[in-house]
Structures are given as structure tokens and as C-alpha cells.
Structure 1
Amino acid sequence: MIKRTNLDGNPNIGVYISVTETQALIPFHASTKIEEIIEEVLEVEVFRATIAGSSLNGILSVGNSNGIIVSPYILEREIESLEKAGFEVFVLPEKFTAVGNLILANDYGALISPLLSDESMELIEKALEVKVEQGTIAGFNIVGSVATATNKGVLLHPKAARKELEFVEETLKVPADVGTINHGTTMIGACSIANSNGAIVSENTTGPELARIEEALGFL
């Protein structure tokens, strides 16, 4: 299933919401309506949370079925809250805080930014229990911002090179394709959230874009 909506008027739903196959983190200010849409479309349990005192859950965390990686600036009480909700929490040992922008992952693999250290690569492998590779998408280091990945497929920035697309397929072990979202936006990860059950994309996403997203993410 795929549905178009904004987060209380904001098209950058992937900036504020982080999802896995079974769980989603949303801001405290998110409406009950968006919570219900997430539960219906993605078939997940929804938790309200902050990370490092911020509502930018999609930027400050990323995970799969095995664990969730969070900003190094997360507060101890926030870690405790996430663990109480059933998350296996791992703190990135880096100066970088926008972990959701720097990591693209599913349950089969992870593509991470070349900006991240060997120490971070080791932690990501341990946390997500997958093989990790470093690379770019369309020349961008912010691989989590310019793509969305599930256990069925990946949608990438439209200017991703053929070599990058093939590398993503090898790394995440699912088919990949390119496209846009929200009427021509190339920041795929910022304007969408998805798992194997469905996807939620920004409200202005066009019909042709929806068709491409459905095919790329394996919903057809």
C-alpha cells in the first residue's frame, strides 16, 4: 500500500519519522491522524519520541529489524525510553549527528557515507547485523537523504549512476531504480517513509511518481 500525506502540512515526513519493519518513531507534536495512517499503511507500532531533544527522528536515527542507530547527542533518558519501547539502541561513535542522512539500510545490508569512520562501520555492522559498504548515490555522501530502502526494493536519486545503482543492489540485496518524489523532489529519503508493507510519501507526489515508487519498492 502507498499513501500520500504530509506531516501536519510539512512534506518532509522522512526528516521527522524513522521506521523499521515493525516500529516507527514520530514526534510528540504529530497528529493522531498521521499516527493512524502510519499504523495502517506500514503495519507498525508507533512510538512518540525525541532524540537529542529534537523532533527530527528521521535524521537523528536509522534502523532495521535488529537495531536502531542514534545520534551521539541522544540523552540518557531518551535511550531508556527507546529501550523500554523495545528498541535495541546503539549510539554512533562519531561527531556526525545526522545518522539518518548518512546510512541507508534494510534487513540485508547497509550502504553508509564515506564520511563515516571504520569504528562507525563496525558499530553499524554489529547493530544492524548486516554487511556494511561505503559509497555514494548521485555523488552525494548523504545516502540516507537521497534514497529510500525496504526489504523489497530501493528508490534512488534520479541522477544516480548505473554503477551506483548496481552497487546499491549488491549491498542491500534487492532491486533498485531511480525516480523523484513530491513533484520532482530528488531528496527521496526526506520526503518518504517505507517498509516492506507500504510507503507514505509527500502529498504533492504525482501519479507517474507513485507508479515508479510502487515498482521500485516492490508493491506491484
Structure 2
Amino acid sequence: MLKRVDIVGNPNVGVFILATDDLAIVPYNLLNEKADIIKETLDVDIVKSSISGSSLIGSLAVANSNGMVVSPHVLDREVKQFEELGINVATVPGRYTALGNIIAANDKGAIVSPFLSDEAIHVIEETLDVNVEATSMVGSDIIGSLIQVTNKGFLISSKAVQSEIKFAQEVFGVEGDIGTVGRGITLVGACSIANSNGAIVAKDSTGPEMARVEEALGFLDDDF
């Protein structure tokens, strides 16, 4: 299922919300009607929480079916909440806290910014149980903001070249394509949330953008 919705009052829905195939972690102050839209579209359980006391959950954490990596400033009560949900949680060492902006991952692989330390990469590999590749893409280090990836496909910034698309396909183990959301926004990871069941994109996304998202994320063959 694919929807364009104003979830948080701006196009940066991926900055505030973290989704896996099983759950979506949303801010405490998200309206219940908005949470219901996410629940229906992504077919997940909704968990209201924070990361480091902040509502910027999608920026401060990354998760797949195997675990979650979070900012080193995560609060103990937050870790306890996630662990009680059965999530394997680990903090990534170093000074970089906006992990969602610099890591893109599914259940098969991850691409991370090259400035992450070997120790940080090791924690990501162990926690998410994936092979990690560190590189810049599209001339930028904000990998997580440039890519929206699920276990069925990926959407990458329209500025990506063919070699970068091929590289992402090899790492993530799924097909994907370039695109934009929200009338030309190239930060597709920051402005969408998605899993294997569906996606929500910025409200101003056009019909052609929606069609590209649907194809890139592998929804065209689904029977909705």
C-alpha cells in the first residue's frame, strides 16, 4: 500500500518515524489518527517512544528484523522499552548521533557513511546481522537520507548514477531505482517511511513520483 500523507506537518516523515516489517516507532505526541494511518499502510504495530528524549526517532536510530542501533545518548528507559519488545538494541560508539541520516539498511545489507569508525561499523554489523559497506553516494555522506530501502526494493536519490544503483542492489540484495518525493525532493530517505508492506511519502508527491516509488520499492506485483 502506498499513501501520500501529511504525518508530521512537514515532508520529513522519515526523520520522525522508524519502521520495520513488524513495527513502527513514532513520537509520543503523534496524533492517534496519524498513527492509525501508519499502522494500516505499513501493516505494523505502533510503538510510541523517543530516542535520547527526542521525537526525531528516524534520525537517531536504524533498525531491521534483527536489531536496532541507536544514538549513544539513548536513555536507559528507552532501551528498556525496546528490549521488552524483544528488540536487540545496541548503541553505536562515536560522536555521530544522527544514525538514521548516515545508515541505510535492510535485512540483507547496509550502506553507511565512510566517516564511521571501524568499531562503529562492527557494532552495526553485529546488531543488524548484515554486511556493511562504507562509502559516499551521490557526492554525499548522508546515506540514510538519500536512500529508502526495504526487503523488497529501494528508492535512491534521483542524482544517483548507474554504478551507484548497481552497488546498492548488490549490498541490499534487492532491485531498486532512482526517484524523488514531495515534488522533487531528492532526500527520499528523510521524506518517506517504508517496509515490505507499504510506504508513506511526503504529501506533495506527484503521480509520477508515486509510480516510481511503487516500482522501486517492489509494490507493483502486490495485490492490494
> Which category describes the TM-score, using the shorter chain as reference length?
over 0.9
Higher mean displacement: 165-174 or 4-13: 4-13
- Identify the residue that residue 16 of structure 1 maps to in structure 2: 16
| 1:80 CA drift (Å) | 0.9
Are 1:66 and 2:66 counterparts? yes
User: Which position in structure 2 is the counterpart of 1:107?
Assistant: 107
Tell whether the 8 Å contact from 1:148 to 1:155 is kept in structure 2 after alignment.
yes
Letter in 2 for 1:95: R
Output the aligned Cα RMSD: 0.9
Moved more, 206-215 or 38-47: 38-47
Q: Which runs of 4 or more aligned residues in structure 1 lie more than 4 Å from their structure 2 counterparts after TM superposition?
A: none
Q: Cα gap change, 1:8/1:176 in structure 2, threshold over 3 Å: closer, same or farther?
A: closer
Contact kept? 1:28, 1:55, Cα under 8 Å? yes
| 1:190 counterpart SS class | coil
* Aligned equivalents of 2:118, 2:14: Cα separation in 1: 27
**Does residue 1:132 correspond to 2:132, yes or no?**
yes
Amino acid at match of 1:151: N
> How many residues of Structure 1 are paired with residues of Structure 2 in the alignment?
220
TM-score by length of 2: 0.96
Instruction: Show CA shifts across 1:147-178 (max 9, x none).
Output: 10011111001111221111111000111210
Report the 3-state secondary structure (helix = DSSP H, G, I; strand = E; otherwise coil) of the residue aligned with 2:39. helix
Deviations, residues 46-101 of structure 1 (Å, cap 9, x unaligned): 10111111000000000100001100111111111221222211101111000001
Structure 1 partner of 2:46: 46
1:165 aligns with 2:150: no
> 1:181-220: per-residue Cα shift (whole Å, max 9, x none)?
0011111011100000000111100000000000000000
Match of 1:153 in 2: 153
Matched position secondary structure for 1:148? strand
Partner in structure 2 of residue 55 of structure 1 = 55
| 1:106, distance to aligned residue in structure 2 (A) | 0.4
Matched, 1:182 2:182: yes
The one-letter code sitting in structure 2 at the alignment partner of 1:65 is S
Q: Does 1:203 align with 2:186?
A: no
**SS of alignment partner, residue 111 of structure 2:** strand
Q: 3-state SS of the aligned residue for 1:111?
A: strand
Match of 1:214 in 2: 214
Where do 5+ consecutive residues of structure 2 fail to align?
Answer: none
User: Which whole-Å CA distance do the structure 1 matches of 2:106 and 2:96 have between them?
Assistant: 21
Identity of aligned residues (%): 49
Q: Secondary structure at the match of 1:152?
A: coil
State whether structure 2 residue 77 is matched by structure 1 residue 77.
yes
CA contact (8 A) 1:137 1:156 kept: no
Query: What is the CA distance between 1:9 and its match in structure 2?
Result: 2.1
Shift of 1:11: 1.8
For structure 1, list consecutive stretches of 5 or more residues without a partner in the other structure: none
Q: Give the Cα–Cα distance (whole angstroms) in 1 for the partners of residues 174 and 71 of structure 2.
A: 27
**Structure 1 residue 10: deviation in Å?**
2.3
CA contact (8 A) 1:192 1:200 kept: yes
State TM-score, norm by structure 1.
0.98
Amino acid corresponding to residue 211 of structure 2 in structure 1: A
